[in-house]
Amino acid sequence: MDARLYVIPGSHPSAAAALMLEHKGIPFKRTDLMPVVSKGVLRAVGFPGNTVPALKIEGDKVQGSRQIARELERLRPEAPLFPADPDKRAAVEAAESFGDEELQHPIRQLLWWGFKQDRSPLKSYSEGAKLGVPIDLAVKTGAPLVALSARFNEASDENARAAAAKLPALLDRVDAWIEDGTLNGDQLNAADFQIAPSIALAMTLDDLRSAIENRPTGALAKRVVPSYPGRMPAVLPAEWLAPLSSDSAV
């Protein structure tokens, strides 16, 4: 199968798509893109939208982590990403939608808010990436890209604070799906691949790791994505983190 995956280094839905290709045993080439620049490149190579993950496979273009899951399942049914039982499939799809629509974005906002304060950690998120420019140079000259990405992602103080406040409830929902067997079963499914990279990315923040790693959701992330690139030293204001620390202490 001829497959090329377009990603932004450190992007959690991009990691989800790569994991699903690996799960299916489909070899693929990867094109690493810089944020913001990615939008123009994706349009230039013919994708209708401007976000990663974007996949060219067998001559077709598929964009979006959930769409990619379905296309991979259609092209290569084994190993399945969705359970055959309709009720179990509905539960996996509900968890997968939550991962895409509710979990991804607050984590993205916290990260971009962090890069606004200090962009030096950006380099660690690009480990192993081929961006076409030396990464040190990209980081040194990256202030406009960070400012634009933070703006696109609406990573204002107010929204980042709200994102931190949402985390305990989001983590509780993931733990509950693990508890009822929807996630982290013997066979990993599309929802595991959707959610685990978001959790793994959250754990790259020194501010968040200790509140996540000992929960069931932390174990899921470590199982599915044992090494996620990137590390952001503590940057979030302590008062934003109070709900998270009290939640993990319970």
Ligand X SMILES: N[C@@H](CCC(=O)N[C@@H](CS)C(=O)NCC(=O)O)C(=O)O
Question: Which residues would be at the binding site for ligand X (CB under 6 A)?
Answer: 8, 11-13, 35-36, 38-39, 51-53, 64-65, 100, 104, 108, 149
Q: Are strands 29-32 and 54-57 parallel, antiparallel or unpaired?
A: unpaired
Task: Tell me the C-alpha distance between 217 and 93, whole Å.
Answer: 18
Task: Tell me the C-alpha distance between 79 and 77, whole Å.
Answer: 6
| Nearest distance from C-beta of residue 50 to ligand X, angstroms | 7
| Nearest distance from C-beta of residue 138 to ligand X, angstroms | 14
Q: With respect to ligand X, which residue has the nearer C-beta, 121 or 214?
A: 121
| Nearest distance from C-beta of residue 163 to ligand X, angstroms | 14
Task: Tell me the C-alpha distance between 62 and 68, whole Å.
Answer: 6
Q: With respect to ligand X, which residue has the nearer C-beta, 61 or 248?
A: 61
Q: With respect to ligand X, which residue has the nearer C-beta, 229 or 237?
A: 229
| Nearest distance from C-beta of residue 121 to ligand X, angstroms | 16
Left, alpha or beta for 177 (phi > 0: left; psi -120 to 50: alpha)? alpha
| Nearest distance from C-beta of residue 51 to ligand X, angstroms | 3
Q: With respect to ligand X, which residue has the nearer C-beta, 99 or 243?
A: 99
Q: With respect to ligand X, which residue has the nearer C-beta, 39 or 222?
A: 39
Q: Which residues pair with 4 in a beta bridge?
A: 29, 56
How far is residue 178 from each of residues 103, 154, 185, measured CA to CA in Å? Answer: 15, 30, 8
